[in-house]
Amino acid sequence: MSGFAVVDPYTLERVEEVPYFSAAEVEAALASVWSAWTDWVPATTVAERAALIARVAELHEERVDALADAIVREMGKPRPQAVGEVEFAAAIYRWYAGHAERLLADEPIEGAAATAYIRKSPTGPLLGIMPWNFPYYQVARFAGPNIIVGNPILLKHAPQCPDSARLIEAVFRDAGIPLGGYTNLIADEEQIAGVIADRRIRGVSLTGSERAGTAVAEIAGRNLKKVVLELGGSDPFIVLSTDDLDAVVEAAFAARFDNNGQSCNAPKRFIVVDALYDAFASKLTERMAAVEPGDPKDDDTVLGPLSSEPAAIRIEDQVRRALAAGATARLAPRPRDGARFSPVVLEGISADNPAYREEFFGPVASLYRVSGEQEAIALANATDFGLGSYVWTTDPAQALRVADRLETGMVYVNTVLADSPELPFGGTKRSGTGREMGAVGIEEFINKKLVYIA
């Protein structure tokens, strides 16, 4: 592919192609973010930039239909979820706009011999490398806070998202943020490597695969650039006790099928105590078996196509390898139709099965039976990933014990799909480094400058 392209994953129709930037266009983009850093940022205050981001939120709401339609077409997200993503992005921009001055205020240093404080200053131009699965939400949690801080943004979107990329850039421009304050970049991997190394770029944030994270971190490390990485996840959904198993199953289903099963922090491994396993497995399988991939433009569609035909082929191959290695299918795979992949439920996955450590990025549920709390924790931690986790229990003390021992960046107790602008998002181990959203998210790319006045 010689550029970005929109291929409707439901019909496999090639809708649009956008060529990569030329070397001159990449240089112009770099020059624009540097100009914003040297000219626009010093001429504006935190409050003024926050007001512009508040306008970005308003424009997302005003243009919700056009924005939602673009990502339905680009990556097959069911339309109600696409609308929800646009609205959540607006909420993130609005939250940061409303809290920025407090979050970025000077911090006095108590006990110093003279007046001393930490001034939260911008770092400089940043490169964002964003994925296809949440084209608006991912941009909001990176670009919103950093523009308020005063870090101009160069944004490389996913190759299948040129339409939504243009719409986002138009929102920022119409909100009053100049070219350079936020700038699209249509570039290939070689060009991106050069951008990361460029002296005008001070840091990089990537949301994507382990492979991409490793490559970006290596280049950034050689050039002494800070990186924030949000990579994959194989989040455990641990069921220890409940007064309402049907509600737990419904939560499991809703979270696993969110975004067509293509969410980094979706529960993917369902770890259930022996006393509840059979009933949970039967109910979840029945719920999943009733779903077939449908047209994402239809408001009643629960499961759309995967983001692309290669994505569907990839997960089809994962399931085939898992079964060949000894797993059993409680809900067997049905024939794939282009990018449309039907739900699968696997169980009997042994520690030597590749599925034991892989991430299934689609509507596949892996079930594990455990004897109790200790085995559940050990199994939950037996992965290289450490993004999110979900714990279901009627015992508050048990909830805290398990939360303390899970090797993840996030633990949700008795709930799913509870993301909110004030809650930090990120993981540990091979799920990445750093955090986005909340008070800690805005501090990833700031210069905590000591000012000491004798």
**Residues that are catalytic:** 230, 264
Q: Distance of CA 372 to CAs 2, 19, 278, 389, 398, Å?
A: 53, 55, 15, 17, 11
Separation between Cα atoms, residue 343 and residue 211, nearest integer Å: 26
b/e map 208-233, b = 16+ CB within 10 Å: bebebbebbbebbeeeebbbbbbbbb
- Ramachandran sector of residue 417 (left: φ over 0; alpha: ψ -120 to 50; beta: rest): left
Separation between Cα atoms, residue 218 and residue 216, nearest integer Å: 5
Separation between Cα atoms, residue 158 and residue 18, nearest integer Å: 12
User: In the 8-state DSSP scheme, what is residue 21?
Assistant: P
Rounded to 5 degrees, what are φ and ψ at 451?
-120, 120
Rounded to 5°, angle at Cα 153 from 150 and 159: 165
Q: What is the DSSP string of 374-389?
A: HHHHHHHHSSS--S--
Separation between Cα atoms, residue 154 and residue 144, nearest integer Å: 13
Q: Distance of CA 396 to CAs 101, 247, 267, 402, Å?
A: 36, 18, 21, 10
Residue type, position 365, single letter:
A
Contact 322, 305 (CB under 8 A): no
Of 128, 138, 157, the closest CA to residue 86 belongs to 138
To the nearest 10 degrees (0 to 180), the angle between helices 137-149 and 46-62 is 160
* Sign for the pseudo-dihedral over CA of 260, 406, 320, 272: negative
Separation between Cα atoms, residue 271 and residue 245, nearest integer Å: 14
Rounded to 5 degrees, what are φ and ψ at 300?
-90, -5
Q: Distance of CA 185 to CAs 21, 26, 162, 400, Å?
A: 7, 7, 10, 44
